[in-house]
Each structure stands twice: as C-alpha cells, then as structure tokens.
Structure 1
Amino acid sequence: MKQKLVYAFVVLLGLFLGCQNQQNEDEITIYTIGDSTVKNGQGDGANGLWGWGDPLVQYFDTSKVSVENHALGGTSSRTYRDKGLWQPVLDKLKPGDYVLMQFGHNDAGPVNDTIRARGTIKGTGEETEEIDNMLTGKHEIVHSYGWYMRQYIREAKEKGAIPIVMSPIPRNDWNDGQVPRNKDSYGGWARKVAEEEGAFFIDLNEKMASEMEKRGEENVTDKLFFSRDHTHTSAKGAVLAASLIAEGLKELDKCKLKNYLLDDPKIKFPVKKKVFIIGDSTVANGNDSIVGWGRELWAFMDTSRIEVINKARGGRSSRTYYYEGLWDEVLQKMHAGDFLLIQFGHNDGGHIDQPKYRGSLKGMGDETQDILRNDTIPETVHSYGWYMGKYITQAKEKGVSVIVLSMIPRNIWDAGKVQRVDDSYGLWAKQSAEQNGAFFIDLNNVIAEKYEKMGPEKVKTFFPGDHTHTNAKGAELNAKTLAEQIKALRACSLRRYLN
C-alpha cells in the first residue's frame, strides 16, 4: 500500500512539474535589441548613463511576461548581426514573443575604416558595397540600413515572433527651441521598412522630441541628458523614453503586448549607494553666506544612483567629531558598498585642554594626554593620525570605501603663493590614508594651484568674511575640483557615479 502511495505521489509530482515547465515555456518574452541608447554599458548606469531598455521592464507585469535587454553599445544594424549578437536572440525566439528593435545612431559612420567599420548604406534599397573590412580583415558585402532592418523583421516573423520597430531617440541638439527629428533619415527609413514588412512601428523619435520641447532645453540638459553627451540619456531620460514606448504600445490597435502593461508602474532603479561626508565648517552645509563644499558636491554626482549625505559639522576637529558621538551616528548608518569622505585639520590646531577643547595632538603617534573637560569630564586625547585612523578602519570594517582629503587651503598668501599644509595636516592626512588602506586626494595643493592661477583678487571673492570659509561660489569650485580628483582615482569605484 505504501509503495502504491509513493508511486502515485511521484506521478502527481511529475505531472505538476511538467505543467510548471509547460507554463514557463509558454511565457511570452520581450527581447530588446539595439545600441547604447537601448542598453548603455553593462546596463548598470555607469557614468550616469542608461538606455531605455533597462527601465522598460518595470512597465510590464513580469508575472506574465519576461523582458530581456540584448542591446549592445556601439553597434549598428549591420554590426549587431556581424558580431553574432542577433543569432542567440533568434535561436531563443518562439511564437508569441516580441522583438523591440531600435538602430540608427551608429549606422551613419564609415562603412570601412580601422576604428569601427560599422556604417551602412543610407536608405532602404538593395544596393550593396563589397569591402575587405579594414578592422576585422574579413571580406564583406555591406547592405543598406533598411536591408538589415528588413532581415531582423523577417527572421523574427519566421519564428512566430512579433517585431516592433522604433525610430531612434533624438539627440539633445537644439535649434531655436526645436529638437531636430530624423524622419528624413533613419526614423523615416525605419517607418518605411516596418510598413512594408507588416511590422508594428512606434515613432519614438517624434514622441520624445515633442516631450523635450514641451519641457524646454533648460529642463532637459543635465536632467534627461548630461551636457557632456548629447546622445545618451540619464536615468530620467531613459525612463521618459521607456514611458513613451509604453504609450506607443497602447496606441497600436492590434498589438496585444499592451495587455501586459501595468496600469500604474512604479519605476525604481537599483538601491542607491551613499556617500557620507564628515568634516568641519569648510565642508558643512553652512548658511547663506558661508558654504562648505559638501553642500555642492551632489551637483557633480549621478543622484539617480547615489545619495550624498553631508554630516560635516562646523567647529569640529578630528577629535571633537569623535568624542561628541557624531562619528558613531554616521557609522551606524553606513553599509557595505557605501563611501566615506573625510576632511579634518582646520580646528585640530586649537587648545587641547582649554575651551573649545578641540585640539588634537600633532602628528601620527600613539602618545596621549589626559585632561578634564570643563574640569569635570575626563578625556584621553590622541593624535590627529590616531583619530583619522579610527574613522578609516572602522568604516572599512563595514565594507565602506574611504577617501581621505587634505584640508582646503585658507586664503592666505605669501610671495604670490597660497599657504600649504604639506608639513602638517596635509602630510598627516596622507599618511593616515596610506597606513590604513584608504584613498587620498591632496585637495589642499590642487585647489591652491587653481587659486594661484586665478590670482588673489579673484580668490578673495570666494571668502566673504574671513580667510577660511567660502561662499557658495567658492564651495562650488572646491566641490568640482574634488569631483575631478575622484575621477582620476582609477581604482576607486566612486568615480563611476560622477556626472
């Protein structure tokens, strides 16, 4: 009897698993193919750039459909096929799947050269050009843009899949308040081929250009696109493009893919990493007239992927930030993968055993001095290097990447040169970083060199009340300089989150 029950259970389990497998096989898959405007880099938002294929998945009910982004930056309609990228997608296609395709941004390049050799013949005709590819060394017959697009459509349909063609997103170019369209080139050719082959078409170029014009150039540059790049979108730009594709799908009468769109999609990008900043008033947010660089740093970061948390506090030294418990508060909030920027020194030269009780012992040693704060609170005072070492090692124990900065220079000049701290806090900050495995940026010298190029009169405008504290313009200069230096730290992953 027991054997019969076991056998029946096994049979039922097999039937159940078989049904599950059949369900998975029947699930519709949406494949996206294209260039870097569809998937930028590894699709992780490096350098703040995203393709629309990444947020697109969040517009669909993924309990009913799956979305796979197979686009690759730098490819054209020709090279996506030649590099063997299309074949794996084609092999996986099954009846009912969808292929969303967008090419064109790279098709205008040279047909044959030693750099990329990715161009196609303009238009949709059957003309060809026979070449010996200078880049790959292969003999090749190059076709028109329309010819390649036609092959994708036909081959997808042969597998029972449904192709949807997109015109390429617009570039962030403006002419008298208008964004140029590509309806007379790749956008128009994409539409023509789609209509001739019976494929669905979404005029993404027109939709996005119109939306950009509604917002205005000042609300597009450095929001949907970065000023340094007129082709690749930021996270917000990628979301806009994806939303317009979803809108376009709803407008396609006979396209059933719209049935899988969510009514109210909640778009989220990967959990943001955090940049914590600790330091004194030259770093802190300050007020209307006195501003630290920590308040301005966010403008140079990709805030779609990273959050800047400025915990610097005016009047603090490496010592007081530690004994007041400010460091413990920051340490509790940090997690593996976060970043910590440290800059102390301006107040560490103060009195050790007199109010404001913020001086630390000079240097990097282990010597201590016992005092009573306010005649009642016993304290063992350590060296500047000891406190800096504590911040670094305790943060690293939590998996946090640490960057130590030498303090920004004061507006003090001597014979045409800005006073440096190379033999004091600048040196000790560097030694603290080296001894404890942190990154180091010599902010003191780098900014001082910029000041010297500007001259005393210009630099004076950055210091409204004294020779230590900057205004917003000075803070912005210092934050930008810091961002430039972070960018130069090849081994530091924070550089990937800069705008």
Structure 2
Amino acid sequence: MKKVQLLVIFSLTSILLCCKPKTLNLKPTLYTVGDSTVKNGKGDGYGGLWGWGDFIGQFLDSSKVKIENHALGGTSSRTYQNLGLWDAVDAKLVAGDYVLIQFGHNDNSPVNDTIRARGTIKGIGDETQEINNLITGDHEIVHSYGWYIEKIVKDAKAKGATPIIMSPIPRNKWVKGSVPRNDTSYGLWAKQIAERNNITFINLNDEMAKQLEVLGEEKVTGTYFYKRDHTHTSAKGAAMAAEIIVDALKQTDNAITDYFKENVSISYPKKKNIFLIGDSTMANNGKKEAVGWGVPFPQFCDTTQVNIINKARGGRSSRTFVNEGLWDAAKKEFTADDIVFIQFGHNDAGKIDQAKYRGSIKGIGNKTQEVTKDSVTETVHSYGWYLTKMIRETRDKGAIPIVLSITPRNEWANGVVEQRDSTFVKWAKQVAEAEKTLFVDLSDMVAKSYQKLGKENVKPFFPKDHTHTGLEGAKHTAKLFAAYLKQAKAIGLRGCVFIED
C-alpha cells in the first residue's frame, strides 16, 4: 500500500513539474518590431514624438497579455536584424506570442554610405548586392526589403508565434488635399509578403491616410504631426495609428481579439506647466506698442507637451506682485514638477514711499523700511528678499523655480547696449546662487543679439519707449529664450521647445 502511495505522489509531482513551464507561458506577449514610427527614441515622448507601439498597450488587457515594444528609431528591416535586435526578440518568442512588424521608412536609404548604410534592395525578390560596408568595414550581402521582412515572419512562425505585418504609416505630406500612399512600394511589398506567407496584413498606410484626409491638412499639422517633422507622429498621431491597428485586428480571426478592452479612453502624457511670473516686459499688456515676450513665447513651444501660463502683470515690481496678492493667486495653481520662471527688476527701481509705491530696497539683504500709505503701514523688504520668498514658496509646492534677469532696455552707452549688470541682474543671480536654483541671464543674451543687429535695426523693436517691445521685439526675445532652453539640459525642456522661422 505504501509503495502505491509513493508511486502516486511521485507521478503527481512529475506531472506538476512538467506543467510548470507551460503555466508560466499561459500569458502571451505582443512584441512590436519596427522603426521610430513604432518607437521614437526611448519611447518617452522626447521632442513630443511618439510611436504607435507606445500606445497600443492601452487597448489591451494587461492581465491577459504582455506588451513589449522592441522597435528602434533609425533602423530599416536590414539594420534591425544586422544589429541583433531581431535575434533578441526571436530568442524570447514562445508559442502563442504575437509579433507586429512595420518597416519601410528607412529602407529607401542608400545601401552603402558612411552615414547609416541601411538601405535594402527594392521589392520582394531574391536578388542580392555584395558590399564592403563603409561603416562597419564588414563584407555584407544585402537582400531585398521583402527578404528581410519574410525572415522575421518565418522565424516567428517557427517558434509558434503569430506574425502580423503593417504597411508603414503615411508621412504628413499633402498633394492637392490628399496624402500620398505607398501602395506601389513598401506598402505593396509588405502586403505581398503577408499574402505569400498566409498571415494578416494591415494596411495602416491607407487607413491612416483616410482619417488624416477627413481632418484636413490644417487640423492634422500641429496636432497629429508637427510642421517641423512630416514623418514622426505626436502622441495623438501615434494613438490614431494604434487604434487603426486594433480595429483592423478585431476584424481578423487571430486569438489576439480576446485580449482587447472595450470603450478605451486614451491616456495622453501629462502636460508640464510652465508659469511666467514678472512685469510688463513679460506680460500680455493688451497693447500693440507694449508686448511682453511671454506673449509670443508659446509659438516656440510644443503645446501638446506643455501649458504656458502667463501670470506676469504690467507695472508690478517684486514687491507689489506680492503685496497685491498676485503671487499668492499664482502659487495656488503650482503643482509638483511645474516650472516657474521669475523675472522682476524694471519696476523695483521705482520710489519706495512715493507715487506708485512699488520700489523695493536695493540689494538682497534683510534691511526693511516702514512705509505708510492711506493710513496703512507696510514693511518693505529688499528686491532679493522678495525673490527669495518666491523661490522658497515655489519649492514648497514641489515646483521648480528658475530666476531670469530683466531684459535690457533700448539704451546704448557709447555704442554698447546698457545692462543693469551691477544692480538687478547681479542681485537676481546672487539670490539664485544663494538659494541653489537655476539662473538665466536673459539680459546678457538679448543684449548680445542687439549688439550684433546694431542700434538702427533694434530701434523698431521698441515702438513706445526704451523699455517695452512691440510684437517683433517680443518675438525676438522669446525666440532667443526658446533657443537657450533647447540646449539647457538642466532645465529639462529641450524636447518641448523648437525654433521655426
């Protein structure tokens, strides 16, 4: 009897051990392989650019299927495999997995050059071209686009996985109101390989082009694509492509249809808030002859990634911005990781106890002065004290304070643009250093550009007086600031701004 019991226990243990690997593989994986239109950069939306592989996961039930985006920007069907990227995916494939394949945008490049050497032979034939790769130095046999795609298909099938081919997404190029298709080139060849191997083909190129045409070029550019880039999609463009793929897959007999969620509401990346705190040289003053640089600044920003919130107010000093409650009202809106640019000084040089009562005590010290106006006594602090207050209270909200120097006036001493670099520019920098926050010397940046332009060319920038710019002058400053942000790694907005003439 004991021998029978032991035999039964041994048999059950053997069965459980044999079944364990299969249990681990019950949850299939959906792999995406392709170029930057499937995954741009690191897939973090840098520069506002996304691939559809970054959004397709939102349509799938993650409790039933895993998603892994293995696409790499800049690759063709050839270089994706030459770099070992496909081998890495192939090694992980098991029966029941899925592989979404999209290449073509980069396959039209030169077969051999010193830049990328990534092109493939056009078509789906067996012709080859032998080269000595000018980049790697290796002897290489280059095949057709179809040959490389078919290799991925056959490898996936050999593992029991399901390969699915997409035609490349359309580019944001328009001809007489229409988006050109690639149905005589890579779209056609992708379809032919799918048909030859009896697998699913999704005409992403045509289906997405149809939706873009319904919207029209004006609505598409700036929302689904950017003016500066006709190939790579924004978050909304990537989500559109992902949804087209999902809708197409739902019409097939692939088991993947069991993993799609219903009534999906796309979650887009959270926008970063950028607050502008300052005076009339930054504010929207409602006057053509006095336009703050904060007004045209949004046109140099990717507003699908950032919100520009201009809280600057004309006529205010650091002191009156605080005393009038403008600062308290603004900081109520700050949230964690917001960026707050703070720029004051022009009006801080005013009278402390007369007229507009907006001057602050010079410097950054703790000296105070009691001022009475309309029977109300006010304790006036230094310029540096008010800036310090704003910096610290911004940090208390979890936001990031960045101090800007004032903009230069249209004043030229001996042919040189005059700056307040011994007063307000210096004090702003000293406060930033003391508080260990970032400082941007906008004064020096703009003054140097004025110097290059010359006094006569700068004069039209100031239609009212020597302090306030008109729209063109404001745009000039905003563009310089955007260019600075484009290369300022520490601020973290390099992918959110762009310069377009």
Common fold: TM-score over 0.5: yes
Q: Is the 8 A contact 2:370 2:377 kept in 1?
A: no
The residue number in structure 2 matching 1:368 is 368
Provide, for residues 448-488 of structure 1, a one-character-per-residue CA deviation record: whole Å limited to 9, x for no partner.
45556667777666556554444555444432222112113
Q: Distance in 2 between matches of 1:387 and 1:496?
A: 32
Separation in structure 2 between the aligned mates of residue 141 and residue 38 of structure 1, nearest angstrom:
27
Determine the C-alpha separation between the residues in 2 that align with 1:451 and 1:20: 73
Quote how far apart the aligned CAs of 1:349 are. 1.1
- Aligned-partner Cα distance in 2 for 1:363–1:245: 62
- Report the equivalent of 1:104: 104
Q: State the match for 1:237 in structure 2.
A: 237
Match of 2:429 in 1: 430
1:417 and 1:189 map into 2 onto residues whose CA distance is 64
TM-aligned CA distance change 1:263 to 1:456, over 3 Å = farther
- Structure 1 counterpart SS, 2:32: strand
Q: CA deviation at 1:274?
A: 1.8
Alignment of 1:92 onto 2:92: yes
Mean Cα deviation higher: 224-233 or 420-429: 420-429
Distance 1:378 1:440 in 2: 29
The aligned runs of 1:332-411 (5 Å cut-off) are 332-379=332-379, 381-396=380-395, 399-411=398-410
**In structure 2, distance between residues paired with 1:378 and 1:111:** 75
Cα 1:209–1:354 shift into 2, 3 Å: same
State the Cα deviation string for residues 97-125 of structure 1 (Å, max 9, x = none): 22111111111223233332222222111
The residue type equivalent to 1:498 in the other structure is V
Q: CA deviation at 1:393?
A: 4.0
Is the contact between residue 146 and residue 193 of structure 2 (CA under 8 Å) also seen in structure 1?
yes
Per the alignment, do residues 417 and 174 of structure 1 end up closer, same or farther by CA in structure 2, a change over 3 Å counting?
farther
Kindly provide the amino acid, as one letter, of the partner of residue 265 in structure 1: V
The residue type equivalent to 2:345 in the other structure is: G
Question: Which residue is 2:133 aligned to?
Answer: 133
**CA distance 1:461–1:224, shift in 2 (3 Å):** farther
1:460–1:338 Cα change, 3 Å? same
How far does the alpha carbon of each residue in 1:33-62 deviate from its partner, in whole angstroms, 9 at most, with x for none?
Answer: 111111111111111111111122112233
| Structure 2 partner of 1:12 | none
Quickly say closer, same or farther: Cα 1:490–1:288, change in 2 above 3 A. same
| 3-state SS of paired residue (1:298) | helix
* 1:59-96, Cα deviation, whole Å (9 max, x unpaired): 22333333221111111111212222122322322333
SS at match of 1:75: coil
Query: Quick check: 1:269–1:305 contact (8 Å CA) kept in 2?
Result: no
Aligned equivalents of 2:391, 2:159: Cα separation in 1: 57
Q: Percent of aligned positions with the same letter in both sequences?
A: 54
Say if 2:48 and 2:305, in contact at 8 Å, map to a contact too: yes
Residue number in structure 2 paired with 1:265: 264
Tell me if the contact between 1:224 and 1:236 (Cα under 8 Å) persists in the aligned partners.
Answer: yes
CA distance 1:268–1:295, shift in 2 (3 Å): farther
Instruction: Tell me how far 1:195 sits from its aligned partner.
Output: 0.9
Letter in 1 for 2:360: S
CA contact (8 A) 1:100 1:165 kept: yes
Counterpart of 2:36 in 1: which secondary structure?
coil
1:255 match = 254
Distance 1:19 1:154, change over 3 A: closer
Partner SS, residue 181 of structure 1: coil
Does residue 25 (structure 1) correspond to residue 25 (structure 2)? The answer is: yes
Which range moves more in the overlay, 90-99 or 229-238? 90-99
Task: Judge conservation of contact 2:123–2:145 (CA < 8 Å) in 1.
Answer: yes
- Cα RMSD (Å) of the superposition? 3.0
Structure 1 distance, partners of 2:76, 2:419, is: 52
Q: Secondary structure at the match of 1:31?
A: strand
Q: 1:296–1:260: structure 2 CA closer, same or farther, 3 Å change rule?
A: farther
What is the distance in 1 between the residues matched to 2:445 and 2:128? 55
Contact 1:339 1:494 in 2 (8 A): no
The residue type equivalent to 1:153 in the other structure is V
Is the alpha carbon distance of 1:288 and 1:68 closer, same or farther for their aligned partners in structure 2, counting shifts above 3 Å? Answer: farther
Alignment partner, residue 168 of structure 1: 168
| Structure 2 counterparts to residues 7-26 of structure 1, below 5 A | 25-26=25-26
User: How far apart, in 1, do the equivalents of 2:179 and 2:472 lie?
Assistant: 32
Deviations 1:417-473 (CA, angstroms, capped at 9, x unpaired):
654333332333233333433333332343345556667777666556554444555
Structure 1 partner of 2:5: none
Q: CA deviation at 1:397?
A: 5.6
TM superposition score normalised by structure 1 = 0.87
Structure 1 unmatched ranges of 5 or more:
1-15
